[in-house]
Amino acid sequence: MPRFPNVSKHAHSVSARVYSNLEQRALAKNEAIYRLHVGDTYRDPVAAARAENQLSAEHPGLHKYAPVHGEPSLIEAFIAYVEARHDETLNPDLVQVMSGATAGLSVVCQVLLEPGDEVLLPSPFWPLSRGIIATKGAVPVQVPFYTRLDEPGFDAEAALESAVTDRTVALYVNTPNNPSGRVLPDATVDAMMRVATRHGLWVLCDEAYEEIYFDREPPDAVWKRRGIRDRAIAFHTLSKTYGFAGARVGFTHGPEGVMAAIRGMQTFHTYCAPRPMQFGAVGALQQGGTWVEESRSLYREAGYQAADALGVPRPEGGTFLFIDVSAQLGPGQEDCSAFLERCADAGVLLTPGRSCGADYPKWVRLCFTSVPPDQLAAALEKLKPLVGTSLA
Ligand SMILES: Cc1ncc(COP(=O)(O)O)c(C=O)c1O
């Protein structure tokens, strides 16, 4: 029981400094620095979505609370989007507007998890997913996964199966994946779903990059699979798809019983997502189709350019490269800190791999959409000699 001035043990399970704090070092040595450690976009959203275009005259009570469920016009626009993208018709009662996927996952974890429960977290993963689970007092069980997909003999089912215990409650799936850039093959998803159904697990489907895929047809959403609809809870967000990260608008949907509990918990979390930005989100969903197409093509070009420059495999989707820099570390260096410092000295900020999984101390993450193409090209010029220099 924490008494003043102590805080709860769950608070100790996360650090506010999810991203590396090398900025001061970079600024001290460079006029221009390149912040490739932040997962965001350099593109502004379509005009209809922007904050400055949401008008009280058009939306009376613009700054009042929205219904907990979400603005009806937004739920309608999202259902139309899901029909077009996923060929599925959602029941509006089972859709909950959230303040982004971050709040969505947080509310859902609050609903599903008791302290000590375990969640299978295939790694590398979006850094906040681990912390969200941990802040509920639950245990994120990290299973090295996305980086192993091409390993001869890698058995996805066995890898997850061996991590299941009688405390396992849920499996988190994110495809296209932050940070590996992988899109899970159907057979791998099948294997994951066999584990989930065999052990009665919830399946948490993170759709953050559902529109950012590069070299194939739109990937099939995991939550759509017939055999798992009763246990799948999906998280969508406008942050990546529509360049709307600061607006904090996303959606959660799932089966009937749990959605009632999720709506109840949402009331006590943020109550509603920001109302003005819910109207902006309607604009993004209704008028952002071309923007999404353009972004996909620009991001594909940026991802391929970055991968080719650094000599690593091209991403299949998402907005990141995840790079093994163990050959660039000196003898005895157990993590990538010194490498990140060399990058910061050159003016480029990257994320330490460890924030994406305990098994990745010698990896780094690079976001290729956070700066415009000319700046990305300049940053890559600075990184090339560093990534290409083997110290081993
Ligand atoms: C996989 C994944 N899920 C969710 C999020 C967060 O989404 P939101 O901005 O909607 O909270 C991110 C952000 O980087 C992400 O990479």
pLDDT digits (tens, 9 = 90+) for 280-296: 999 999 999 999 999 99
Tell me how many degrees the CA angle 306-311-317 measures, rounded to the nearest 5. Answer: 50
Both structure tokens of 83: 């029909």
Pairing of strands 168-174, 95-98: unpaired
Amino acid at 72: P
Nearest-angstrom CA–CA distance, 100 and 138? 21
- CATH 3.90.1150.10 segments of the chain: 9-44+290-388
The three-state secondary structure class of 50 is coil
With 0-12 CB in 10 A as exposed, 13-18 as middle and 19+ as buried, what is 199?
A: middle
Q: What is the pLDDT of residue 215?
A: 82
- Atom in ligand 1 nearest the alpha carbon of residue 177: 1
Superfamily of chain region 9-44+290-388: Aspartate Aminotransferase, domain 1 (3.90.1150.10)
* 3-state SS, residue 322: strand
Comparing C-alpha atoms, which of 364, 369, 356 is closest to residue 319?
369
Alpha carbon distance 134, 358 (integer Å): 14
Query: Token digits for 375?
Result: 């700046």
CATH 3.40.640.10 residue ranges in the chain?
48-288
Q: Which atom of ligand 1 is nearest to the CA of 39?
A: 14
Whether domain 48-288 has CATH 3.30.460.20: the reply is no
pLDDT in tens, 46-105: 999 999 999 999 999 999 999 999 999 999 999 999 999 999 999 999 999 999 999 999
What's the sign of the alpha-carbon dihedral 62, 66, 70, 76? Answer: negative
CB under 6 Å to ligand 1: residues? Answer: 39, 100-102, 126, 174, 178, 206, 208, 237, 239, 245, 250
- Residue 221 confidence (pLDDT): 97
Ligand 1 atom 10 nearest Cα: 100
CA distance 78 to 217: 21
**Residue 18: what pLDDT?**
44
The stretches in the chain having pLDDT less than 70 are 15-20, 389-392
Q: Which of 240, 320, 367 to mutate to test the pocket of ligand 1 (most atoms within 8 A of CB)?
A: 240
